[in-house]
């Protein structure tokens, strides 16, 4: 089955629209400028993609974004040509990698040079400002900026709040990513058979999404049989058997860099599911649909938590840790939790807003073991409620009355 995607967005409008949202958020939270190292945030601010998995563990590429003034990308050496025509970037410089792998005993000198670069940009483009937002940088580099007289702010706050509300072009990108991944999920479903390994089955989706310009799959969450309970066991070498549940969470950073995050569970083989398997599936199905109905603009996270579907006691110990979460370039703000898990000192409140994208979660597995079922839907918040994005079908065999 092929799932139809909308036409591609205007790439320049996508890049400039996100940059405008980020700058508006910097003004709202009174952060004069930020330096972003997380490659997803670099991509959000500029549209510039380069070696994302590598850069998740190496601070070798970053961007300076002020409220007003030039955006400066510090690019990995040898890659300066990649974004030379990007309208969201005003200047490209070679990055200074503040890590022991790259600099060894020269770490202190490199940290000082990094801080000198950023201090120079602040003096030029944010004159008189001594506050700057940072994320994910070596503590020595932070100390050097502090020694230069700068107050360090948290860059994640304005960036996550900017990312949580999608521009029109972002919504198109997200829909295109979900359509791509749903087509891959259908190929995965068709490949389920006794004797195939979890790894081989998982690779079916991986092959499809990479061939269609996705970035990578963030997790290895495909399991079978009793490995479906508890959840968060990684895909492995186990061979599937007829009559078993296969549970899968997509977690794909897909085309345009947008996350497609929905989950389905299937039955291996041509038989009918057991009564116990149907019970698991129907409970998960009921949970996500009940909780999806709670999503409306203006409703607080706490209100959703209090009105959420109540997990039966026997399944509570192995519940999914969230009711729902934001979805954009990756999983993001907000996190909304179960009522019994809510702790005012740990969990935060907020408000659902139009053009948020959320993934609504369910995992049902008995605390004494056996199999488990993972279901999840990705939705767009509209003025009147939600629009379903992940319209991949559920399994009639689990929901039918026939045994």
Written as tens digits, the pLDDT of the chain (403 aa) is 899 999 999 999 999 999 999 999 999 999 999 999 999 999 999 999 999 999 999 999 999 999 999 999 999 999 999 999 999 999 999 999 999 999 999 999 999 999 999 999 999 999 999 999 999 899 999 999 999 999 999 999 999 999 999 999 999 999 999 999 999 999 999 999 999 999 999 999 999 999 999 999 999 999 999 999 999 999 999 999 999 999 999 999 999 999 999 999 999 999 999 999 999 999 999 999 999 999 999 999 999 999 999 999 999 999 999 999 999 999 999 999 988 888 888 899 999 999 999 999 999 999 999 999 999 999 999 999 999 999 999 999 999 865 4
At 15, list the tokens: 């890049």
Contact 327, 359 (CB under 8 A): yes
The residues pairing with 140 across neighbouring beta strands, listed in sequence order, are none
Query: Which fold does the domain 165-399 belong to in CATH?
Result: Creatine Amidinohydrolase (3.90.230)
pLDDT of residue 344: 80
In what side-by-side order are the strands of the sheet with 259-260? 216-217, 252-253, 259-260
Q: Where are the alpha helices (DSSP H) in 87-212?
A: 100-103, 107-125, 139-147, 156-164, 168-191, 198-211
The residues, ordered by sequence, that sit 6+ positions from 176 with a Cβ below 8 Å of its Cβ are 5, 6, 8, 254, 255, 256, 258
Buried/exposed 158-172: b ≥16 CB within 10 Å, e otherwise: bbbbbbbbbbebbbb
Burial grade of 156 (CB within 10 A; 0-12, 13-18, 19 or more) = middle
At 76, list the tokens: 């990995």
At 357, list the tokens: 């994208």
pLDDT of residue 240: 98
pLDDT of residue 46: 98
pLDDT of residue 402: 59
Q: CA-to-CA distance for 211 and 203, rounded, in angstroms?
A: 12
Specify the CATH architecture of the domain 11-163.
3-Layer(aba) Sandwich (3.40)
Residue among 78, 21, 26 nearest 47 (CA): 21
> Does a cis peptide bond (omega within 30 degrees of 0) precede residue 334?
yes
Sequence ranges of the domains in the chain:
11-163, 165-399
pLDDT of residue 205: 98
Q: CA-to-CA distance for 297 and 156, rounded, in angstroms?
A: 23
Q: How many CA atoms does the CB half-sphere of 191 hold within 13 Å?
A: 20
């Amino acid at each position: 089955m092929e799932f139809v995607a909308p036409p591609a967005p205007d790439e320049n409008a996508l890049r400039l629209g996100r940059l405008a949202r980020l700058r508006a958020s910097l003004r709202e939270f009174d952060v004069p400028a930020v330096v972003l190292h997380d490659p997803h945030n670099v991509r959000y601010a500029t549209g510039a993609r380069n070696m994302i998995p590598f850069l998740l563990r190496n601070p070798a590429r970053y961007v300076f974004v002020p409220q007003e003034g030039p955006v400066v990308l510090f690019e990995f050496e040898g890659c300066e040509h990649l974004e030379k025509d990007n309208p969201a970037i005003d200047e490209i410089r070679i990055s200074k990698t503040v890590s022991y792998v790259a600099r060894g005993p020269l770490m202190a000198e490199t940290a000082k040079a990094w801080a000198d670069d950023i201090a120079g940009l602040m003096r030029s483009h944010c004159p008189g400002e001594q506050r700057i937002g940072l994320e994910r940088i070596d503590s020595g580099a932070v100390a050097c900026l502090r020694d230069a007289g700068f107050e360090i702010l948290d860059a994640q706050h304005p960036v996550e709040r900017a990312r949580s509300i999608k521009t029109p072009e972002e919504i198109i990108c997200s829909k295109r990513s979900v359509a791509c991944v749903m087509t891959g999920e259908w190929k995965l479903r068709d490949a389920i058979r006794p004797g195939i390994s979890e790894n081989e089955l998982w690779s079916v989706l991986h092959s499809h999404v990479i061939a269609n310009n996705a970035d990578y799959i963030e997790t290895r969450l495909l399991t079978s049989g009793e490995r479906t309970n508890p959840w968060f066991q990684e895909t492995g070498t186990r061979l599937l058997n007829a009559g078993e549940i296969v549970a899968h969470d997509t977690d794909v950073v897909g085309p345009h860099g947008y996350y497609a995050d929905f989950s389905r569970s299937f039955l291996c083989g041509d038989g009918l599911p057991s009564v116990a398997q149907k019970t698991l599936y129907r409970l998960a199905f009921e949970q996500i649909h009940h909780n999806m109905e709670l999503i409306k603009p203006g409703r607080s996270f706490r209100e959703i938590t209090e009105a959420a579907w109540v997990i039966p006691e026997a399944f509570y110990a192995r519940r999914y840790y969230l009711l729902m979460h934001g979805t954009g370039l990756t999983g993001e703000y907000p996190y909304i939790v179960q009522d019994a898990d809510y702790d005012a000192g740990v969990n935060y409140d907020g408000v659902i807003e139009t053009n948020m994208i959320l993934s609504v979660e369910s995992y049902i597995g008995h605390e004494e073991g056996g199999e488990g079922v993972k279901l999840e839907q990705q939705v767009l918040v509209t003025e009147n409620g939600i629009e379903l994005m992940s319209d991949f079908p559920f399994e009639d065999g689990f929901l039918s009355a026939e045994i």
